Amino acid sequence: MSDRYLNLVNSPVGSAVAARVGLPQPSVLRRYEAGAPILPGPVLLGSTSPKPAAGLRKAVEATGAEVLDLAGEGVKVAAAVLDARSVSAPGDLARLREFLQPATKALAANGRVLVLGTPADGADITADATRQALDGIVRSLAKELRRGATANLLWVQDEASLPAALRFFLSGRSAYVDGQPVLLGAGTAPAPADWTQPLAGKTALVTGAARGIGAAIAGVLARDGAKVICADLTQAGEALAKVANRVGGTALHLDVAAPEASATLLEHLAAQTAGLDVLVHNAGITRDKLMANMKPEQWDSVIAVNLQSQLSINAALLDSDQLNQQARVVCLSSTTGLSGNRGQTNYGATKSGVIGLVRASAAAFAAHGDSTINAVAPGFIDTEMTAKMPFATREVARRLSSLQQAGLPVDVAEGVAWLASPGAGGVNGQVLRVCGQNLVGA
């Protein structure tokens, strides 16, 4: 649904009034558009060592952006990328201030700040403490930036996934990802023949695809080249067929909580595909009640759909020959699973459980031909469901993030698509929050 306040404060009159009375002034976010450049301007590249690593410069240049080592007077940059992998003592952190202070002043609207760090390895207490300080710097800086700009952190253990990560975090695909750290570890991460079609030739299945976030995920995966199987309940058949037709995919009637769900899925894959490359566990329900009023069926149904179904289907796929090598599994969690939410103990349990599932399953999927499993945790997203919330509650929720607005289903879909891409092979067992750096909870 349309955010009328966002539209108002981005009009000449509304902007003047909001500034005068001190109201929030969220900016219209720069989102991905097919055919548009990854960045609308130059990238300022810096390093805490004498110069950035050659591989980083090459990867940034490969995005098509002009790379600057110094921003001249009055020059605006679309992004600032700092290679801080060399920091090892508290005194080294001053180099971040020396780069970031002028860089943030030169940052254009909807700009991107991306810091690269070395993950802690337990070998040196001083080095690990200093490296962890990058997380606090980036999260705090993200809360200072305005006009739709974001700041994120990449822990680089292995550079294989760096090109794909740069293209995600510097582009409009990451519009609603802010203040987030992601580890780029070891893993097979081949570059696609065409970066605009990273999923070409891949078969993807999305559960809960008939509407909302699931429909958006199906659309983005298809846009990126995948052949998409759209799965949902039989009673959602008409809406499911429309989504499948729109994305050029096929429809599968599937109740993920049914005892026969895994067998049905495996039979369909064996009969209709050459194996599955991407699985997105998006199906989910809510049955909100305070714990004191929670009925057993309200508890059990949410656990069955949101958590048990993912465990069962994953186990069945790993035990079958229907999951291809270098497969990508993406599970939908929620910021409720990280910070909790009143009246959602059942839902919070499942979404936190999904995070545990992902972390615990990472090794098993890596052993299955360098496959990966990750989670996306959306924050407040404008959907048909949130549109039914009371006006005041919805407006407050929209503003409780660093970007001062709700996300859109496509923002979640873009995060899923990056984790589903071959180039994200070094990201495994992790949670990507798509929440605009929600200010409540974790």
Q: Which residues are tagged catalytic?
A: 347
Contact yes or no for 397/132 (Cβ under 8 A):
no
Burial code (b: 16+ CB inside 10 Å, e: under 16) for 391-412 equals eeebeebbbbbbbbbbbbbbbb
Where do we find the tokens 């110069």? 51
Enumerate residues 6+ apart whose C-beta is below 8 A from 154: 114, 115, 116, 117, 162, 165, 169, 181, 182, 184
d(CA 160, CA 54): 14
d(CA 214, CA 281): 9
Phi, then psi, of 307 in degrees rounded to 5: -125, -55
In angstroms, the Cα distances linking 42 to 100, 172, 195 are 16, 15, 20
d(CA 433, CA 426): 17
Tokens for 153, please give them. 């952190």
| Local structure of 282: helix, strand or coil | coil
State how beta strands 181-184 and 203-207 pair: unpaired
Q: Report the side by side order of strands in the sheet with 77-83.
A: 67-68, 43-47, 77-83, 107-117, 150-156, 181-184
- Tell me the residue type at 221: L
Ordered alpha helix ranges (H), 201-252: 212-223, 237-247
Q: At what angle do helices 345-367 and 296-303 cross, to 10 degrees?
A: 20
Q: Which of 85, 89, 84 is nearest to 127 (CA)?
A: 89
Contact yes or no for 177/433 (Cβ under 8 A):
yes
d(CA 3, CA 404): 11
